[in-house]
Amino acid sequence: MSTDTPDAPADDAPSRAELAARVDELEDALAEATSDDDGKKMSIIATKGTLDMAYPPLILASTAAAFGYDVTVFHTFWGLDILHEERSKNLKLSSVGNPNMPVPNAVAALPGMDRVTTKMMEKKIADNDTATIEELLETSLDMGVEFQACQMTIDLMGYDEADFYDGVTTGVGAATALQDMADADIQLLV
Amino acid sequence: MSAEFDITETLDVKGASCPMPVVKAKSAIDELSEGEVLEVLATDPGSMSDIDGWASGTEGVELVDQEEGDDVFKHYVRKTE
- Tell me what pLDDT residue A36 has: 55
Q: Confirm whether A177 is domain-assigned.
A: yes
Q: For residue A138, what pLDDT band results from cuts at 50, 70 and 90? A: very high
Beta-strand ranges (E) seen in B1-81 are 9-13, 37-42, 61-68, 73-79
Domain boundaries, position A79: 40-92+132-189
Of A60, A132, A151, A50, the residue nearest A91 (C-alpha): A50
Q: What is the CATH number of the domain that holds A54?
A: 3.40.1260.10
* Separation between Cα atoms, residue B38 and residue B27, nearest integer Å: 11
Q: For residue B22, which residues of chain A lie inside 8 Å, CB to CB? A: 63, 66
Q: Quote the number of domains for chain A.
A: 1
Which domains does chain B possess?
9-79 (3.30.110.40)
Q: Confirm whether A13 is domain-assigned.
A: no
ipTM over the 0.90 cut-off: no
The verdict on whether B74 is a catalytic residue reads no
Q: Which one from B6, B18, B60, B67 is the annotated catalytic residue?
A: B18
How far is residue B39 CA from its own chain's centroid?
5
Q: Confirm whether A31 is domain-assigned.
A: no
- CA distance to partner chain A, nearest, from residue B18 (Å): 7
How many CB atoms lie under 10 A from the CB of residue A159? 18
pLDDT at A37 over 80: no
Q: Confirm whether A146 is domain-assigned.
A: yes
Q: For residue A133, what pLDDT band results from cuts at 50, 70 and 90? A: very high
* Separation between Cα atoms, residue B39 and residue B7, nearest integer Å: 6
Q: For residue A63, what pLDDT band results from cuts at 50, 70 and 90? A: very high
Question: Which stretches of chain B score pLDDT less than 50?
Answer: 1-2
pLDDT at A66 over 70: yes
The 10s digit of each residue's pLDDT in A74-94 is 999 999 999 999 999 999 998
